[in-house]
Amino acid sequence: MVKKKIVAATGCPTGIAHTFMAAEALKKAAEKMGVEIKVETHGQVGVENALSPEEIKEADGVIIAADKDVQAYRFHGKPLVDVPVSKGIRSPEELINQIVNQEASTYYDSDYQESGNEADKMEVDERDQATKQNRRWVHSIYKHLMNGVSHMLPFVVGGGVLIAVSFLFGIYSADPDHEQYNEFAALLNQVGGLGFSLMVPILAAFIAESISKRPGMVVGFIGGLLADEGGAGFLGGILAGFIAGYIIILLQKLLKKMPHSLNGLKSIFLYPVLGIFLIGIVMTPIIQPLTSLNEGLMDFLASVQSTNPLLLGLIVGAMCGFDMGGPFNKAAYVTGTLLLSEGNLYFMAGVSAACIAPPLIIAFATVIFPKYFTKEERNAGAVNFILGSTHITEGAIPFAAKSPLIVLPIIMFGSSIAAIMTYMFGVQVPAPHGGFLVLPVVTGAFQWVLSILVGSLIGAFLYGLYRKKAAHNKPIEE
């Protein structure tokens, strides 16, 4: 019997954990099922184990387990399964079976050009639109947004940390008229500020790029700049990205009947000129209302942080601990990341604490209650100390997946305690990632670590007691 050949692509917004966990799950499942598979990963360092055109052509089907753009146009004409990255981790065998059992729909991409025959391309367009309409539009919107976030993160992390490091020389060390002025600190502040200032334009550009490829990126970048300079902030950037992407889709439809020989003119001249003009026309009247909305949101969050840190911490902790890298977690994380651009360093502190706590809950539980965990689980628990310390939440997923109705509420409770204490202490974290690696630039570093440890230990005891009770019914087998 000839082995089935499958190719896959995985990717998550941060490109650190989910991307590779999904790849590993697919590889293990394929090996167990006797299926040949090659998985391409879209991590933070770029594309690894890239799929060649020949490998794609020879494959019996394609699996995309991603929450970001992975260049799906390459898979035109192939049976394709497109799901969130979390499903690649949880249900790899189910995804592979859809290809093996020929249950996957054939994917058609409107930008794919197999020949210059206009009739063929129009037919592909019609089939492509039907395919797209059948997809889950909510996941599509989420994927476009996360593509923007994924490309934005390095700018936020790099720029934010450099600005924070400059403050170590003095809060006014970048001001040439102040006695604290330090030339090196001023350079750090300037360079970091430039990186940080690109956050909203990059967000908008890559949301648009996910929707309408490279032409959308240019228009999205300009739309993001308009939003940023007009004071509309990240809300304006998100809206500009989606508007820009669909402006290009509209232009592609309107210019579809132009001769194939003029495609170069469309991409290098008509799309950018008309697109930039249209995004300017659309964004100008809505910037002021968006600015008011953005400022209102900032004021609301600032008031909640000071007047009701218990409620805010409970919400943030529950969201971060509920799906650990999924939509709820990412909603809190993206909000915290984007608020950094508004100068709000408090919100991100609670989000970071709530994201660090879950793997530490697991790790401490395996140390405090070792006899109620298998050797494999204890080894995984030790790894979670490293994952948690570096803000990689996903290490807790395999443990939560075994008993989600019990374990997830425990993790949410521990994460909420960590977030609540962080807000009560008024901790400020200038970087959206890095975990304890960014401690030197955290304002209130001791209180932040204390908050995380308290939340993690309380969660660990609850989880350990649950495992102890479960062991009475079913003894642990090494």
Neighbour tally for 296: CB within 10 Å: 10
Contact, 30 vs 59, CB < 8 A?
no
What is the distance between the alpha carbons of residues 415 and 354, in angstroms, rounded to a whole number? Answer: 4
What is the distance between the alpha carbons of residues 329 and 345, in angstroms, rounded to a whole number? Answer: 18
Q: Which residue is it, tokens 């994927």?
A: 143
Segment (H or E) for 189: helix 183-197
What is the distance between the alpha carbons of residues 222 and 61, in angstroms, rounded to a whole number? Answer: 38
Contact, 206 vs 147, CB < 8 A?
yes
Helix (H, G, I), strand (E, B) or coil at 7: strand
315 exposure class (CB count in 10 Å sphere: 0-12, 13-18, 19+):
middle
**Four-CA torsion 302, 305, 306, 312, nearest 10 degrees:** 140
- The catalytic site residues sit at 12
Q: Is 466 left (phi over 0), alpha (psi -120 to 50) or beta?
A: alpha
Q: How far is CA 77 from its chain centroid?
A: 28
291 exposure class (CB count in 10 Å sphere: 0-12, 13-18, 19+):
middle
- List b or e across 263-290, with b for residues whose CB sees 16 or more CB atoms inside 10 angstroms: eeebeeebbbebbbebbeebbeebbeeb
Q: How far is CA 308 from its chain centroid?
A: 28
